[in-house]
Structure 1
């Protein structure tokens, strides 16, 4: 007679299998992977629809304004996420209220700053018609800054599934809104309207989905002192990171025709698809895990750090390498022939996306073990790389040469982080070489798929 599980009609072995499958599905790494896949699918569908509703110039405008917003954000980056996740009292009410208060004040300052910058910046870029768009877009900072700190504590308390659900819901609403607005009003205002709606939905959900999400104004002196001790490295590093990540867009926006700049922006968006997993996996899974190991004084940190990331890293390397090798095929299948020039930009920019996994993992290892200055050192290495290779690339290869310098910039950061890991006994070059070999294999597979399948879509 088959034993029945208590309270169910299922046999016990079947119930155990269901439990194992559920536990596997809810593991942090798998939740992050699933959310990134869904996010990229949503963005891919949105991109394919919007490229048919909007002219390439609209994506060029989008790139300019997004670059300006990121510039303002990085100039005032305080490292909220790392601070909340790493602190021992990161779940205390007074602590979280203080962090939230600082975030609200910062968002108000950013809104006013970008609004005031709208006219002079638009004229400096030679595109004065963008001033109203830039000014209105500043309100997104205010919507985003008033979100609850629950979006940060979700990482600390391992509520990754719930956090991913909030972000996917907000993105889906944004995409639907942008698509509807683009159909009725085919200008950049459609994209901006969708961003407003999506950001507002995310802020509202941050209070309704998580427990103990309500916050109050507070400014604890001790918390502020600890926050400044932590964030001063982040702010300086982010300013350097700003110079690194935005100068190419500002230079190319000034000299490229808007349609070609639109190709570059679209390529950057596509190249960021795998980067989304590298960023989310390392910050949402590895950082909390590494910080817990460090706080508990675990033995053999190097082996445990690499074991925690090995399989996801190798799969990431193969898949991202496949994107590099198969970029022309991807553009040919999913996009109008008018966007064919996007493929080369995409291949170059994806090099940094490939290297982002070992680079980000090294970063989180160093942050979790208290070596905050590593972020500044890595960004300084990037700045030196761009300051030398950028002008050299532009002089020898024009716009494409500058793109190549940008696409390989992560090499400099990775070298700096490997040096620091080696100094503290956390570097395993055999594991790093295995990752790079997997990436090269992926590039070969992607290129083979392009050669075999591209004649079928002509």
Structure 2
């Protein structure tokens, strides 16, 4: 069997292409963010951040888990598509209307009442996403990341170009909203074109039960995760004001650079890979351990570098006016790193047929996050909000997800063993980065620290490729 035909070959090829896709998108949004930070004031970023957080929450449940149900389904998938289309589009329409009506209240509660109009504009993305759910899920199911790369890249280029042009013309936070909606509309059209999948509506009760069984749990999990993302932004805006919300938005955006690059890539292929491993009777415990190790060597050193180099990074890229963002960035980098590992656990719980376990652990996490963030904001201001995310993720989020795995009948030991090499690599990286900080020159620190981190991550990745091939293909070869 050729490497490309094996499950590990498909996983690694899909992951590399998905990483490239996400990286190109991040490069575009990074360049846009740097330019807009020079054109817009923190208050404008606060308005946009309010709208974006609301949109993120709505996007978690507007398709009611249709995409996950399509990706996870065993065997033939065409029969479920009319039901999937109906649920996704109707869900998007309902979320869109709810956002339109609730926009004034949401904007006021998050400390940016002037963001009402931008929230209503970005609500269009929720409606559009309902039309993207099915064709996007079909590409993900078959690990067709080349096509997805082309589609997403076209959307990113459109979003970045239009946003920058409008910002230069003086459109303020509206430039960000218009750019995002236009880019999303283009992605929807292209997804339908490359999959040749147009909306087909209908309801089959058997298919509806199938979608509902996994979709409801996936939606609940995603919603709790989104609320976890919304909580710190909302607390910052309410307790510390709109300007602080702008600083926090920038810090949170930067914290997600290296981590979400990997996380977004993994999210697109993890559920499909674990589901196909399950269908092929591959040992799911070993598959999770192998994939976690491979992802960990890329994510953990990057998160550590971002936490340690927060101050020189903000100073060099955004200017001294944005230095308050660095106070929150270090803690946020820790939290974002843990989120990648958590997302893997969530996907394996869904693939293993235990999605409700992921809901339970997410609720426990959220119950600790909200009061922790509020107390930290009152006591330590913006830095406290950032470190609250890191502390809760590390001390509560990750442990309760391991408990969720045990509750679902999955062994935790293989996953922890899979993290052994990534943790060792990260310890080496941290030691070197602490020495780099002694250079006392922001540009030199960034260049040197970035080079060290990249070399360590790539070396660790290459050293674990064979292990992933063994865990994903070993059972198939023996059979």
TM-score interval, normalised by the smaller of the two chains: 0.7 to 0.9
The corresponding residue for 2:435 is: 448
Summarize deviations over 1:400-425 as a string: whole Å, max 9, x none. 32332223332222112222334522
Aligned counterpart for 2:50 among listed residues 64, 69, 83: 64
Structure-1 residue corresponding to 2:239: 255
Alignment partner, residue 330 of structure 1: 313
Cα RMSD of the aligned pairs, angstroms, is: 2.6
Is it true that 1:304 corresponds to 2:287 in the alignment? yes
- 2:96 is aligned with 1:111: yes
Deviation at 1:136, TM superposition (A): 3.0
Matched, 1:320 2:300: no
Aligned in 2, Cα 1:376/1:148: closer, same or farther, shift over 3 Å?
A: closer
Quick check: 1:107–1:142 contact (8 Å CA) kept in 2? yes
State whether residues 349 and 403 of structure 1, in contact with CA within 8 Å, keep that contact through their aligned partners in structure 2.
yes
Work out whether residues 267 and 349 of structure 1, in 8 Å CA contact, stay in contact via their aligned partners in 2: yes
- Aligned position for 2:162: 177
> For 1:197-212, what aligned pairs fall within 5 Å after superposition?
197-210=182-195, 212=196
Q: For residues 290 and 127 of structure 1, do their structure 2 counterparts lie closer, same or farther at Cα, with a shift above 3 Å needed?
A: closer
Shift of 1:325: 1.4
> Do residues 135 (structure 1) and 120 (structure 2) align?
yes
Q: Following the alignment from structure 2 to structure 1, what is the Cα–Cα distance between the partners of residues 215 and 132?
A: 20
Could you say if the C-alpha distance between residues 453 and 31 of structure 1 is closer, same or farther in structure 2, counting changes exceeding 3 Å?
farther
Using the TM superposition, give the Cα deviation of residue 124 of structure 1 relative to its aligned residue in structure 2, in angstroms.
4.2
Shift of 1:329: 2.1
Q: 1:291 maps to what in 2? A: 275
**TM-score computed with the length of structure 2 as normaliser:** 0.83
Q: What are the equivalent positions in structure 2 for 1:302-381 lying under 5 Å apart? A: 302-381=285-364
**Shift of the alpha carbon at 1:57?**
1.4
Mark the CA change 1:135 to 1:215 in structure 2 (over 3 Å): closer, same or farther.
closer
> Aligned residue pairs: how many?
433
Q: Are 1:24 and 1:30, in contact at CA under 8 Å, matched by a contact in 2?
A: no
Between the aligned partners of 1:155 and 1:292, the Cα distance in structure 2 is 12
Shift of 1:387: 4.4
Counterparts of 1:236 and 1:264, CA distance in 2: 26
CA distance in 2 between partners of 1:279 and 1:397 (Å): 29
Structure 2 CA distance for aligned equivalents of residues 261 and 444 of structure 1? 33
Secondary structure of the structure 2 residue equivalent to 1:409: helix
- Deviation of 1:123 (Å): 4.1
Asked if the contact 1:148–1:213 (Cα under 8 Å) also holds between the matched residues in 2, the reply is: no
Aligned counterpart, 2:38 = 52
2:473 is aligned to: none
Change (3 A) 1:31 1:364: same
Partner of 2:400: 416
Shift of the 72–313 alpha-carbon distance from structure 1 to 2, 3 Å rule, reads same
| Aligned residues of 1:317 and 1:354 also touching (Cα < 8 A) | yes
> Quick one: distance in 1 between partners of 2:42 and 2:65?
35
Q: Does the 8 Å CA contact 1:359/1:413 hold for their aligned counterparts?
A: yes
Q: CA deviation at 1:239?
A: 4.1
| 1:173 Cα deviation from its structure 2 partner | 0.8
Task: Give the aligned partner of residue 218 of structure 1.
Answer: 202
Whether the 8 Å CA contact 2:44–2:246 is kept in 1: the answer is yes
Which of these residues, 84, 105, 109, is aligned with residue 99 of structure 1?
A: 84
Seen in structure 2, the aligned counterparts of structure 1 residues 41 and 235 have a Cα distance that, compared at 3 Å, is: closer
Matches of 2:328 and 2:89, distance apart in 1: 37
Distance 1:408 1:441 in 2: 22
CA 356–83 in structure 1, closer or farther in 2 if over 3 Å, else same: same
Residue 84 of structure 1 aligns to a residue whose secondary structure is: helix
Contact 1:322 1:446 in 2 (8 A): yes
Distance 2:272 2:111 in 1: 45
Greater helix content:
2
CA distance in 1, matches of 2:262, 2:17: 13
**Does the 8 Å contact 1:322/1:447 carry over to 2?**
no
SS at match of 1:217: coil
List runs of 5+ in structure 2 lacking aligned partners.
1-8, 446-479
- In structure 2, the CA distance between the partners of 1:234 and 1:26, relative to structure 1 (3 Å rule), is closer
Q: Which range is displaced more, 175-184 or 62-71?
A: 62-71
TM, length-normalised to structure 1: 0.87
Distance in 1 between residues matched to 2:185 and 2:82, nearest whole Å: 21
Decide which structure has the larger Cα Rg and report it. 1
Match of 1:39 in 2: 25
